[in-house]
């Protein structure tokens, strides 16, 4: 079983703070790295699919970077808002695999 | 928009009962997946299917079986529910097996 780790496990920030969290994955046999946002009582929603080393993706105030050589991805949220409160999951797809391996998630809570 | 629906949001069953969790997708996707999510463990794959009547074991298939008789429907079966199967169950579908679209989840409690 592949090891995909996320840190921190949980995070509590004030509205307006910028924050970031990490996903670590095996650096060999990389194919793709996914980020999902999972709000309470809703379905996990895809944020980004990243495939190239050095990739940087952005959606509004949320961005992600990818380093496949060292096996990590960062997710950044600029100016956090209460609606950003969710669990953020990363998922790794190896080149030979047909299924995603998920990390344990980072639970973000943004308060006023 | 892709829509993945699950038959129940909350379910309470007794130990030893046979439990069916149903998942339906409306986008003609080939691939469907069943996961369970437990605190501190993330999403773990139970079974997946890449075509009608085809199934593959995931990382934690013990105690579960699946059925895919029609392309749009993927059922997860707990033959004899046990308390350690209390969990959140998520279904997903995918056209390629890569980007996945999730249902809202079923929170199953086995007492």
Tell me how far apart the alpha carbons of residues B96 and B77 are, in angstroms, rounded to a whole number. 24
Average of per-residue pLDDT across A9-18:
96
Tell me how far apart the alpha carbons of residues B101 and B103 are, in angstroms, rounded to a whole number. 7
- Look up residue B60 and give its DSSP letter: -
- Among A1-5, A54-58, B104-108, which stretch is predicted with the lowest mean pLDDT? A1-5
CB-nearest to A43 from B56, B59, B104 is B104
Whose CA is closest to B20, among B106, B111, B83? B106
Task: Please give the pLDDT value at position A1.
Answer: 65
Whose CA is closest to A105, among A10, A1, A3? A10
User: Is residue B78's pLDDT more than 90?
Assistant: yes
Spell out which residues of chain B touch residue A4, defining contact as CB-CB under 8 Å: 42
Task: Please give the pLDDT value at position A41.
Answer: 85
Average of per-residue pLDDT across B87-97:
91
Spell out which residues of chain A touch residue B55, defining contact as CB-CB under 8 Å: none
Average of per-residue pLDDT across B83-90:
97
């Amino acid at each position: 079983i592949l090891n995909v780790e996320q840190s921190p496990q949980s995070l509590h920030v004030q509205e307006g703070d910028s924050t970031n969290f990490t996903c670590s994955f095996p650096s060999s046999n990389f194919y793709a790295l996914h980020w999902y946002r999972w709000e309470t009582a809703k379905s996990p929603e895809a944020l980004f699919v990243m495939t190239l080393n050095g990739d940087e993706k952005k959606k509004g105030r949320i961005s992600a970077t990818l380093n496949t050589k060292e096996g990590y991805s960062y997710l950044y949220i600029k100016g956090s808002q209460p609606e950003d409160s969710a669990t953020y999951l990363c998922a790794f797809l190896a080149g030979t695999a047909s299924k995603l391996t998920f990390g344990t998630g980072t639970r973000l809570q943004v308060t006023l | 928009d892709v829509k993945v629906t699950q038959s129940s949001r909350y379910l309470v069953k007794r130990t030893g009962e046979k439990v069916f969790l149903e998942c339906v997708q409306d986008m003609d996707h080939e691939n469907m997946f069943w996961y369970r999510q437990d605190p501190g463990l993330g999403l773990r794959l139970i079974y997946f299917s890449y075509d009608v009547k085809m199934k593959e074991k995931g990382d934690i298939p013990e105690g579960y079986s699946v059925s895919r008789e029609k392309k749009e429907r993927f059922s997860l079966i707990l033959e004899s529910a046990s308390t350690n199967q209390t969990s959140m169950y998520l279904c997903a579908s995918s056209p390629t097996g890569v980007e996945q679209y999730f249902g809202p989840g079923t929170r199953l409690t086995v007492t």
